[in-house]
Structure formats: C-alpha cells, structure tokens
A = this chain, B = another copy of it.
C-alpha cells in the first residue's frame, strides 16, 4: 500500500474541536525558539567550545527535551508523533530550530532523516510504515540513504548509477559501492538506490545485514550529523522482496518525493543559523570600539550588517513562497521541483555570505573555532554542494526556463 503523505494539516478534514487544540505554526515556532534558546544552546556550547561529539547520546538527550517541550517532529505526521505541519508551517518552526547548529537534530528534522521521512511516507506499505517510518518519525532510530557513488558512479548525475540489484528466487542481491552516505554509522536502516532490470529501485536494508558494510567515515568539513558521512559497500547483500520500497523500477520517481522537501528544509534550517550569526555579529560590533567610535558606527560595518539583513529577508521570503508551491501543488509537481531548486541555490549562497560577513565582523575572533561563527562558516561550506550543487541546479534551472520559453513561443 502506497500511502499518501499528508502534506498539510490545513487540508485535513479534522474535527473543529481537535483543530482548536492544535497550536498554530506561529505558536510552535515561538515555542521552538524558546526551547532552542533554553535547552539546546547550552549543549551547542559544549559541542563547539568543548568539542563534545555530535553523537547519538547527544541526539537522544536533545530529542527527549524536544518531546517534553512539545516541539518534536515539525514535519512528521501527527499519527507518527510529529507536529504534522505543512511546508509553510514548517518554514517557521524549522527556521526557529535552525537557530542552533544542533537544533534541527533536536527536533528530528535534520538530514537525511527529514528527507527520508518524506520518502517513506510517500512510498512505504503498511508493514514498512510500522517497521521503518514509525520509529524513524518518533526519533527512536536514525536512517541513511545510499545514493551517491564514487567516480565513475553516480554523483550529480543519477543516470551514472553503478550499484546493481539482481532478482533471485528469494529476493534480491545488491552489489555496489557508495560514499557520502549521511548518517550510515549508527543508522537502523539504509535506503539503497540500485539499478535493476526494470530501472532504478529503492531497497530498505537493515543495518545488521551482513552484506552491507559501513566503511570509513569521510572527513568532511561539516560535523553536524550524528553518523557523519560514510563509505558503504554492498557485497552480495541479500534482501527479501519486502525490502523493496515503493515500486520496482520507479526508484527515481519515488526519490523525488524527498528531493524538493529536503532541499527546502535544508534552506529553513540554515536560514535559522544565519539569523543567529547575524544577531551574534550585530551584538559583537555593538560592544567594541576602534578608531574612536563603536565598530557599529563604522559605515562599512553597517553595510555588512545591512547586507546580512537583506540576504536573510530575501531567503525567508523565497522559502515561504516555495513552501506555498510545495503545499499547493505537491512536492512531485514540476513547479515545486523547479521552485525548490531556485530556493536552494539562492539560500545556500545567501547564508554562506551571511556567515562569511559574520566572521569578518568578528575580526580575529571570527576565525577562532571556539567562536560560533567560525564553526558555522565551516559547517556551511557543504550546503552549496549537498542536495544539488549550485552549478548543477543552475544548469537545471536555466534549461527549464529555456524549454518553457521555447514551448510557449
């Protein structure tokens, strides 16, 4: 059974009395902001200043607190213990969650789980829902998706996929190598993307499957995932038929169910962190002087602050308008995918500029790793590459515009 993910609480036909008990997205965002401020920032300080690892112990501690605060699961369905928000509502809440580097993790909307929740909600049958989606949405387990492959396999171009699953009498045998498999270390299961005779197919592989080996953790600049990004090998990895997620041969279509939402939630979370860097730097220069006046009175510093404000305002507006497209037309629509590509390209670059200016506004302290903005900058570098590199997205955006114009001509 392929269930429909319920995109919007607004479109649900819920009884009025139930509805009235549900806090508005604005209220949830305010709660989330307060939760992050009170409960997450002290832990973030341990991570950034004291080097506490972002592991599952930390995740569980934070998620427990998020549940207590009623802010857990902004994009999980209500029946899975989440807040059941549509994308517009989520935009508010997840920007609030993003005000800490580990806020998204705390509320269970960080990559790759947030995208996988969308995908599973879209493609799971009943049993898979019970076994995979429910515990994932509840934060009981983590997941991974094994898509990207080392050259000459699939990087930006999914058609270059080299991992193969062969059908046998008992199920499937998967062989192939992956890397950048986010969260693989410590995940309960991994969604493996593989070629089959009928096209690309998705498989749910339990972590204890002896045919799947999580290898080296890649030393990426970002450290904000509990499981990091790993190399993964599938060596005669045997899975049963029930491991097929969605339909055989329609894996790339199903994967689209996670693509646009993932890109947009990435934007939401990083926008939140950009607002934090903006505030930190505005505060920093208010408290320091140079050349006879507070730095906050130097025109060039004011200009940097203004540019941050502008980049943040434009990012927020673009996220909201894109969320509206996803809510109204569904994440699989061509418009939603295009809008998410546009938003992801813009916001990934805009927040990078904000972090960069924040470092510059902090002066020498801005490059000290125990200062937040230095860490934010380094963590953010991958944002322009993960979930679609800016150049690949621009290529896709440009070609769609050109196709549309030619078709309309």
- Could you tell me the distance in whole angstroms from the C-beta of A42 to the nearest C-beta in chain B? 19
B305 pairs with A402, CB closer than 8 A: yes
Copies in the complex: 4
The contact sample of 28 A-B pairs, CB cut-off 8 A, is: A148-B364, A152-B288, A155-B363, A157-B291, A180-B364, A282-B405, A286-B406, A291-B395, A298-B391, A300-B300, A300-B302, A300-B395, A303-B395, A305-B398, A309-B397, A310-B342, A310-B345, A310-B397, A313-B318, A313-B346, A317-B317, A317-B318, A317-B322, A359-B385, A360-B385, A360-B390, A363-B389, A374-B381
Contacts A321-B313, A360-B390, A366-B385; A298 near B395 (Cβ below 8 A)? yes
A317 pairs with B321, CB closer than 8 A: yes
A366 / chain B contacts, CB cutoff of 8 Å: 385
A306 / chain B contacts, CB cutoff of 8 Å: 345, 393-395, 397-398, 401
B302 pairs with A398, CB closer than 8 A: yes
Q: Which of A179-196 contact B (CB under 8 A)?
A: 179-180
A283 within 8 A of B: yes
Q: Mark A44-73, 1 if CB is under 8 A from B, else 0.
A: 000000000000000000000000000000
Q: Which of A283-332 contact B (CB under 8 A)?
A: 283, 285-292, 296, 298-310, 313-318, 320-322
Of the candidates A221, A288, A374, A378, the one having the most CB atoms from chain B within 10 angstroms of its own CB is A221
- Could you tell me the distance in whole angstroms from the C-beta of A22 to the nearest C-beta in chain B? 23
Chain A binding site: helix, strand, loop or mixed by DSSP? Answer: helix
- Could you tell me the distance in whole angstroms from the C-beta of A272 to the nearest C-beta in chain B? 17
Our pick among B283, B320, B363, B406 for the contact of A321 (Cβ within 8 Å) is B320
A291 / chain B contacts, CB cutoff of 8 Å: 156-157, 159, 395
- Could you tell me the distance in whole angstroms from the C-beta of A170 to the nearest C-beta in chain B? 35
B367 pairs with A151, CB closer than 8 A: no
Q: Mark A23-35, 1 if CB is under 8 A from B, else 0.
A: 0000000000000
A179 / chain B contacts, CB cutoff of 8 Å: 364
- Give bound CA distance, A384 to B218, whole Å: 29
Q: Closest residue of chain B to A378, judged by CB?
A: B378
- Give bound CA distance, A402 to B151, whole Å: 19
Q: Which of A149-169 contact B (CB under 8 A)?
A: 151-152, 155-157, 159-160
A residues contacting the other copy or chain, number (CB 8 A): 87
- Give bound CA distance, A339 to B309, whole Å: 10
A125 within 8 A of B: no
A235 within 8 A of B: no
- Could you tell me the distance in whole angstroms from the C-beta of A125 to the nearest C-beta in chain B? 32
Q: Mark A338-349, 1 if CB is under 8 A from B, else 0.
A: 010011011000
Q: Closest residue of chain B to A384, judged by CB?
A: B360
Q: Closest residue of chain B to A369, judged by CB?
A: B219
B302 pairs with A303, CB closer than 8 A: no
A286 / chain B contacts, CB cutoff of 8 Å: 402, 405-406, 409
Q: Closest residue of chain B to A362, judged by CB?
A: B385
- Give bound CA distance, A366 to B384, whole Å: 11
Q: Mark A267-287, 1 if CB is under 8 A from B, else 0.
A: 000000000001100110111
Contacts A314-B317, A321-B317, A409-B283; A309 near B382 (Cβ below 8 A)? no
Q: Closest residue of chain B to A359, judged by CB?
A: B381
- Give bound CA distance, A313 to B288, whole Å: 32
- Give bound CA distance, A33 to B220, whole Å: 30
A78 / chain B contacts, CB cutoff of 8 Å: none
A378 / chain B contacts, CB cutoff of 8 Å: 221, 378
- Give bound CA distance, A392 to B296, whole Å: 13
A360 / chain B contacts, CB cutoff of 8 Å: 384-385, 389-391
A206 within 8 A of B: no
